[in-house]
Structures are given as structure tokens and as C-alpha cells.
Amino acid sequence: MTDTNIIVLQKETYLKMIENSPDTRLFNSIMVRYKDTNTIDDICHDGEFSCAFFVSSVLCLANYIEKPMATVTSVCEHLKKNGWRIISGNPIKGDVVVWDYATLSNNTKDINMHIGFALSATEAVSTSSISRRVTVHNITYGLDAHGTPKRRIKMLLRV
């Protein structure tokens, strides 16, 4: 039976989920079975490629989207179709942050964009392919020796 005396606060619950997410490994795996070979695989590679699954799972749990997704592109497309708008300026807590392709140590570009949540104008939370956990980090992963952001923000989305 539903308690008629309470109102669930969607945005506030969503923000608390983001705040409480660091250090979890909950979103590290999406297990699939390939129909052609009948083999089972973890398409997130135990957290190496789990950023979109993390973000979309939180958004789903907060009732902003219908289901978790596996790619940054699919999450962004879905959010834009569902009223999230691309914004410019400083990020605020709860904004979805999409980072551009990273430059790797051998001076080549990473094959993946990255997605997470803003905690403030200077801090974000996303999955780490190194620790394979959700981590808090600088919104641009800090600055390089030339004062340039290590990872450029490609897009900010706000509900």
C-alpha cells in the first residue's frame, strides 16, 4: 500500500544516488549471450568500459530513462529525445558530463568517449577503467603542463 503522506523527490533522490556512488563496482558488468556462438561475455570487461552502464543505470533508477544502456552515444541520444538539453557554461551537480576522446600516452586518441556526472563546477564522478570503480575526480581530469584540460568536456546535459 502506498503512503499517501509522502512525495518521493525525484531530483533530490537522483543527486543522492550520484553522491553515494563512489567506490562501487555494482555497474561493472553487462553479461550477454551471443546468439551465433552461444558464448557468454561481459561487454563492459569488468569495469573497463562501464561508464555508460553506470550513468544510464542511475538515470533509470531515478526514473529519468526506461532502461540501462551500454554506449555513451545511446545514452546521449536517449536523454536528448527525453527533454534533457545541451547546456553551456559551468556544470552543476547532477549534470551529465560527456568527455571527448582522451589522448593516450603514445599520443593517439582513445577509441571511446566517456560519460559521468558533475558533482560541482570542478568535480565529477564516473567509472575508472584503471581502478574499475566509480571514482570522484577533477571535472577535466586536471590540467597538463600547458594548462590545458587533460580531457575536454564535449557536452553537458541537464534535465
Q: Tell me what pLDDT residue 13 has.
A: 97
pLDDT average, residue stretch 29-40:
98
Q: Is residue 1 scored above 60 in pLDDT? A: no
Q: How far apart are CA 138 and CA 11, in angstroms?
A: 23
The fold of 10-158 is endopeptidase fold (from Nostoc punctiforme) (3.90.1720)
Percent of the chain having pLDDT more than 70? Answer: 94
Give tens-digit pLDDT for 77-117. Answer: 999 999 999 999 999 999 999 999 876 665 656 668 999 99
Q: Which of 67, 68, 63 is nearest to 51 (CA)?
A: 68
Whole-model pTM: value is: 0.92
Q: Tell me what pLDDT residue 6 has.
A: 95
Amino acid in the structure at residue 72: V
pLDDT average, residue stretch 116-141:
97
Q: How far apart are CA 3 and CA 10, in angstroms?
A: 16
pLDDT-derived band at 60 (thresholds 50, 70, 90) equals very high
pLDDT average, residue stretch 106-132:
88
The secondary structure of 26-78 as a DSSP string is TTS--EEE-TTT--EEETTTTTTT-HHHHHHHHHHHTTSSSS--S-HHHHHHH
Return mean pLDDT, the chain. Answer: 94
* Torsion 12-24-142-103 (CA) sign: negative
Q: Is residue 17 scored above 80 in pLDDT? A: yes
Q: Is residue 32 scored above 90 in pLDDT? A: yes
Q: Tell me what pLDDT residue 3 has.
A: 87
Q: Is residue 2 scored above 80 in pLDDT? A: no
pLDDT average, residue stretch 6-26:
97
Q: Is residue 51 scored above 70 in pLDDT? A: yes
